[in-house]
Structure 1
Amino acid sequence: MTTPDFDVIVIGSGAAGLSAGLSAIEHGASVLIVESQGEVGGSSRLSGGVVMASRSTLQQAAGIDDAEGNLFREYMSLNAWDLSAGPVRRWADSLGETIDWLQGHGVPFYEQLIFGGDESRPRGHCVEGGGQALVKALAAAYTARGGEIAFGRRVDSLAVEGGDLVGVVSGGETLTAAAVVLASGGFGANPDRLAEFYPSAWVPGESFYIGADGAQGDHLDFAEQLGVQLTGFDRGLRMLNPGIDKVHEAFLPGWTILVDRHGRRFADETAPYGILDALMRNRGNVGYVIFDEACLNPPAALADRYRDAYKQVWPNHAAFRPKHYTAEVMELFAEHERVHIADTVEALAASIGIPDVDLRGEIDRYNDLVALGEDADYAKPAKFLNPLATGPFYAVEVRPTAIAHTGFGLKIDEAGRVLARTGQVIPGLYAAGECTGGISGRVYVGSGSSLASATGFGRICGQTVTERLSQTPVSV
């Protein structure tokens, strides 16, 4: 048999690809990472740099008790167990070790952990310097160990001979390998694929992707070549977007209320974006962010109370501030069809097509709860409760069309091996990160889930791919 050019070829140089390549090199493999863009990092480079994990050395040092299996059970329960439980269990249970491994390779984490979503204890590990620093550290560790990266080389197809995977084809050249790891990211930058595989997130002319241009869904082409099983239709992460621009805003200010098309609140407005995404899906994907003039121009004596408008405090991120819900932006877009401004609540209700008795009733109830100092309806923290009583009043129509993650992709087993439609493992083919399916559910669990999937399964793939090379078990 002809000796392959490399033991392992990894497609994509984001957190998943770099983790897979580095892990494989550590276990004695020769590795080439093939990257379609001109720089390392993919969408991971643009991320906030939070990695979800439990039972890491950092979490334990912070005095946070997190029993084995907690993360797995909470992750599965939040998604009503509609996930690939076997792969999720192995991945979730190994994430603490993954954080230790990343830290050992120079990824600079803060000692402080955060609540990335609605988890029972802090599990968000924040990289000092965000996604850029994560990618930089992994790339440095990978290349220092002899790993190669070929930039500007989009993979055209997998190389298959006699039904067997033998490598990849890029730029008309066949590069051979004993194993291939797909880590090519999602398809958020491809409108056609968004419309086909993530229709709830796709509104022509409005939807936009918070990620790299290289996220074209190449994994779906590769899947067709080898009859790969695909899963995770219409899953991912959508964030609220007012449709007036393509500026990404992750969280709502706490002094807003969010109502549905009937004028009814349905959430704690400071909830994580994954929770709001799921709740919006259940309400036709249309909502209205309501606030008043005091929110935009608060009295001097209350300025600090309105300024402290976010539950999320990240050590690797400047204090969150409104991007859309400001006096300047409202003045600039006052005539936009999605922005409604009125002197009274009744006039505002008429402008957005909600019966005034419903919107007036909801705002009156909210103001009563504010006066009592407790949100008995949705448990928004009291520090964010401010009355909506000063005209003019504002309503901004929002839809979940800012796309941060796509969850439709290749079905994998607990070792990151790709499964065929027949249910059998495809020899030599592995996948990690956003190109996989079955790991991301209907509810995006919270900040750090995506990078956890990328680094966690990347590391698993790098370890288990060497089992194919050596035919000896490798523990994870």
Structure 2
Amino acid sequence: MDFDVIVIGSGLAGLASALTAKERGAADILLVESEGVLGGSTRLSGGVVMGSRSRLQREAGIEDGGDDLFKEYMAINVWDVAAGPVERWAARSGETIDWLADHGVPFYERLIFSGDDRRPRGHCVNGGGQAIVDALVPRCREAGIEFLLGNRVDELVHDNGRVTGVRAGGEELTCGSVIVATGGFGANPEHLAAHYPIAWIPGETFYIGADGARGDHLRFAGQVGAAVTGENRGLRMLNPGVDTMHEAFLPGWTILVDDRGQRFCDETAPYGILDSLLKPRGDVGYVVFDHAALRPPPGLAERYGDAYKQIWPNHAKFKPKHYTADVMEQFSGHERVHSAESLEALARSAGLPEADFAGTVARYNQLVEAGEDTDFGKAARFLNPISTAPFYAVEVRPTAIAHTGYGLRIDDHARVIGVDGNVIEGLYAAGECTGGIVGPTYSGSGSSLASAAGVGRMAGEAAARAVLAARV
């Protein structure tokens, strides 16, 4: 046997898997990366990791019950996820944060709200996702883990229902356990069209992630008879379709209406919530604002500048990317960007019902005047009237893909389950290549990295345990 454990993929899931397997007694470990750089999509991420009951959370005086994260995660996903693995990583999420910190990941002391959670659970990394990679790779090398870059695994080698190695570039490498941590399939248009069709608009959909996220895990599933789950799951963010510039949040001075011209949410809600709310509305929305938001009147610049409730210690102050005077001027006349001197004319331009749209804006302005959004609960500091011509409506669709959730079905020890319902011996998976972890609503910033690290550790533990048991 060439290695005890072979890990495929070098994002957080792969690095956590490899390092944990080493710590749990596996001797010879190889990590194979298809690209020429380590880190996968982790290195491109914002570097927020969700966790409950970590040292940092306790030191900040934040009280979190033992199963609060699990219950909230399940509730927001109406229990439409794999409860076993979710419960296990949620219960150990604080321990996982501590493990990352002990291995040199530089977290800020201040936590943020990850999404719609009841207390701060978002642990922000100084340096973002790249800092996670920069911390764990040296630890892996110090532990004697080998790296093989620029080698894409072609095939999982299997015999009598057990995975026994990998084949890459015509060479076969044998091992006791294989951990698949290849990421998602956002960089593969064919897979997006087939397995995430609600996110796929040819020529518009774009992926915020590593080029290596091509869905290799789906090819592996076919080779060994692994079950896959999570069709049409992931994270989509709103995009006006004028470019491929990623914008995570809407400014608080906007309103978001559907194709009936009706408002339906607190516009400062987390991106996962907005994604979920667009699904029953035909995946089309209109971001509405006025000239005062682009060119604030004298004395109101500071008020309009305070447009986001998200304040991350590892991120510069959030500012609009698309909803600015310069961008509106640049894309004036674009089929998705509408402006007019009256609300009725704006509705006609955007194809919205005039009376309904005008009534929606009138209602919103009444709430602004009252100083309280009793319809959807947007914070008072974001309530600014939409009353200064010209008015704008930008058609948006959730076509910026940040995460794909269709992948290998796993149990609560990250063991891959076959289509026959049995565990496939010698095969484990972690990270974005797994299915059943992401539900109908992406729970918030840091959940994907939390799953990568937490399930990665579970996979490393189980893989090492199997190797050690085989030696007895």
* TM norm structure 2: 0.99
- Name the amino acid aligned to 1:316: N
SS in 2 for 1:89: helix
Answering whether residue 324 of structure 2 is matched by residue 342 of structure 1, we say: no
Structure 2 residue aligned with 1:438: 436
Distance, in Å, in 1 between the alignment partners of 2:298 and 2:309 is 22
- Name the amino acid aligned to 1:10: V
Distance, in Å, in 2 between the alignment partners of 1:60 and 1:292 is 44
Q: CA deviation at 1:163?
A: 4.2
Q: CA deviation at 1:274?
A: 0.2
SS in 2 for 1:186: coil
Structure 2 residue aligned with 1:351: 349
Structure 2 residue aligned with 1:424: 422
Q: CA deviation at 1:108?
A: 0.3
Structure 2 residue aligned with 1:364: 362
Q: Deviations over 1:281-339 (max 9, x none)?
A: 11110000000000000012000000010010000000000000000000000011000
Q: Which runs of 5+ in 1 are unaligned?
A: none
From 317, 320, 323, give the equivalent of 2:321: 323
Aligned CA distance change for structure 1 residues 469 and 445 (closer, same or farther; 3 Å): same
Structure 2 residue aligned with 1:193: 191
Distance, in Å, in 1 between the alignment partners of 2:278 and 2:225 is 34
SS in 2 for 1:278: helix
Distance, in Å, in 2 between the alignment partners of 1:73 and 1:434 is 22
Distance, in Å, in 2 between the alignment partners of 1:337 and 1:288 is 13
Structure 2 residue aligned with 1:280: 278
Distance, in Å, in 2 between the alignment partners of 1:249 and 1:140 is 33
Q: Deviations over 1:240-279 (max 9, x none)?
A: 0000000000000000000000000100000000000000
SS in 1 for 2:338: strand
Structure 2 residue aligned with 1:263: 261
- Name the amino acid aligned to 2:325: A
Q: CA deviation at 1:86?
A: 1.0
Structure 2 residue aligned with 1:32: 30
Q: CA deviation at 1:116?
A: 1.1
Answering whether residue 385 of structure 2 is matched by residue 373 of structure 1, we say: no
Q: Deviations over 1:28-82 (max 9, x none)?
A: 2121000000010000100000000100011000000001000000000110101
Pairs within 5 Å for 1:224-239: 224-239=222-237
Structure 2 residue aligned with 1:314: 312
Distance, in Å, in 2 between the alignment partners of 1:79 and 1:341 is 37
Structure 2 residue aligned with 1:388: 386
Percent of pairs with identical residues: 64
Structure 1 residue aligned with 2:19: 22
SS in 2 for 1:365: helix
RMSD: 0.8
- Name the amino acid aligned to 1:132: Q
Q: CA deviation at 1:159?
A: 1.3
Distance, in Å, in 1 between the alignment partners of 2:289 and 2:138 is 47
Q: CA deviation at 1:228?
A: 0.5
Answering whether residue 14 of structure 2 is matched by residue 13 of structure 1, we say: no
Answering whether residue 131 of structure 2 is matched by residue 133 of structure 1, we say: yes
Q: CA deviation at 1:354?
A: 1.4
Q: CA deviation at 1:162?
A: 4.4
Q: CA deviation at 1:471?
A: 2.3
Distance, in Å, in 2 between the alignment partners of 1:355 and 1:437 is 40
- Name the amino acid aligned to 1:98: T
Structure 1 residue aligned with 2:248: 250
- Name the amino acid aligned to 1:323: K
Answering whether residue 114 of structure 2 is matched by residue 116 of structure 1, we say: yes
- Name the amino acid aligned to 2:24: H
- Name the amino acid aligned to 1:204: P
Distance, in Å, in 2 between the alignment partners of 1:355 and 1:416 is 50
Q: Deviations over 1:117-164 (max 9, x none)?
A: 000100000000000001110111111111111000000111123443
Q: Deviations over 1:431-455 (max 9, x none)?
A: 0000000100010000001000100
Structure 2 residue aligned with 1:449: 447
Structure 2 residue aligned with 1:161: 159
Q: Deviations over 1:85-142 (max 9, x none)?
A: 1111111001110000000000000000000100010000000000000111011111
Q: CA deviation at 1:356?
A: 1.3
* TM norm structure 1: 0.98
Structure 2 residue aligned with 1:211: 209
The answer to whether the 8 Å contact 2:22/2:464 transfers is no
Q: Which runs of 5+ in 2 are unaligned?
A: none
The answer to whether the 8 Å contact 2:24/2:465 transfers is no
Extract structure 1 runs of 4+ deviating beyond 4 A: none
- Name the amino acid aligned to 2:275: D
Distance, in Å, in 2 between the alignment partners of 1:379 and 1:267 is 8
- Name the amino acid aligned to 1:200: I
Q: CA deviation at 1:470?
A: 1.7
Distance, in Å, in 1 between the alignment partners of 2:434 and 2:289 is 40
Structure 2 residue aligned with 1:61: 59
The answer to whether the 8 Å contact 2:25/2:468 transfers is no
SS in 2 for 1:155: coil
